[in-house]
Amino acid sequence: MTSDKIIISAIIVSYLPNKDILISLIKSLTSQADNIILVDNGGGKDAYDSLVHDKFKLEYIPLEKNEGLGFALNVGFKRSIDLNSDYVATFDQDSSPSLGLIGGLLKVHIELQAGGVNCAAVAPVFFDSRDSAKIYFPFYREEDKSIRSFYPHSTDESYVEVDTLITSGMLIRGDVWRSGVHYDPTYFVDYTDPDWCYRVRFQGYKLFGCLRVEMGHAPSDSPPVRIFGRSFFHYSPLRRYYYFRNTIKFCSNAYVSKTWKIRLLIGLLIRYFVNIIIDKNKYKSLKMMTYGIFAGFRNKSGPYNG
């Protein structure tokens, strides 16, 4: 880097976004990032055209078609690195970051670095921004062949080491991407972030979830259904295909532990039946989940081709 100033870029990946929500996200990042890069898989140009680009430090990178999340993130990261970014924050189009989000995450990064921790990324704790009550999503870490969950109220620690983080709201050291740990575009959407996280950890980096920095997020088409304390999300039949295919694809990797493989595959079986109950288009959902399972075992990747 050429100066002592910490340079932060923010990447937003969009695909058929709600224009008002996307504009609100861009505005909320203006005071937090030196550069905002909108990588558009389709449908984001209206939001871009509605803003004064210089005022909002906004760059627009349209892709010719929907290339998926991993491809778009790699495009955004390449541009961020070209801009000499020390840290890169990644966001989905429907994220709701507070004005102090990136500053709070950066503070944790600096504290960990000062303590000699080789931290690749930190992320806030999430709550569903559509719920009337603030219900948090946990962080997870494998301990002694079991999976432990962490909530803001379950520990006095301000941050915890975790196994995986969600892309939206993650603050990543630019050096990690420079070292060659990029996103795998073959996942297309689901498991893009866990796969990156596991490969990062396999390279010796650590990940941390920040329990005192929080962000609203809308991770599915509508608020989740909660059954026996677990959240089950509403998705389109096509997303069901990607989730089921990519769960199997992800679990085939040697860097995923046996404990996590068992948990994810049992969860997949439970979701197969629960999704039939909660989804509106039950037949098509069942069909696409089944297609996804067979596609996963056949090692198919990339976009669904019918």
Q: 58-78, pLDDT tens digit by residue? A: 999 999 999 999 999 999 999
pLDDT recorded at residue 1: 43
Q: 166: which residues sit within 8 A by CB, 6+ positions away?
A: 123, 126, 193, 217, 219
Phi, psi of 129 (to 5 degrees): -70, -10
Q: How far apart are the first and last CA of the chain?
A: 47
Q: Quote the pTM value.
A: 0.93
**8-217 CATH fold:** Spore Coat Polysaccharide Biosynthesis Protein SpsA; Chain A (3.90.550)
pLDDT recorded at residue 219: 63
pLDDT recorded at residue 2: 44
Q: How confident is the model at residue 221 (pLDDT cuts 50, 70, 90)?
A: low
Q: What is the mean pLDDT of residues 253-267?
A: 96
pLDDT recorded at residue 154: 84
> What distance in Å separates the CA atoms of residue 9 and residue 20, rounded to the nearest whole number?
22
Q: What is the mean pLDDT of residues 7-33?
A: 95
134, 146 Cβ separation under 8 angstroms: no
Angstrom CA distances, 144 to 155, 171, 257, stand at: 19, 28, 12
> What distance in Å separates the CA atoms of residue 78 and residue 251, rounded to the nearest whole number?
28
> What distance in Å separates the CA atoms of residue 141 and residue 209, rounded to the nearest whole number?
10
Q: For residue 270, give the H/E element and its range.
A: helix 258-278
pLDDT in tens, 23-61: 999 999 999 999 999 999 999 999 999 987 778 889 999
**Of 30, 68, 62, which Cα lies nearest the Cα of 43?**
62
CATH 3.90.550.10 in the chain, residues? 8-217
pLDDT recorded at residue 83: 97
pLDDT recorded at residue 179: 96
Of 121-135, 170-184, 206-220, 237-251, the one with minimum mean pLDDT is 121-135
Task: Name the percent of the chain lying above pLDDT 90.
Answer: 82
| pLDDT at 129 > cutoff 80 | no
Q: Which contacts of 261-268 are long-range, i.e. CB under 8 A and separated by 24 or more positions?
A: 263/147, 268/244
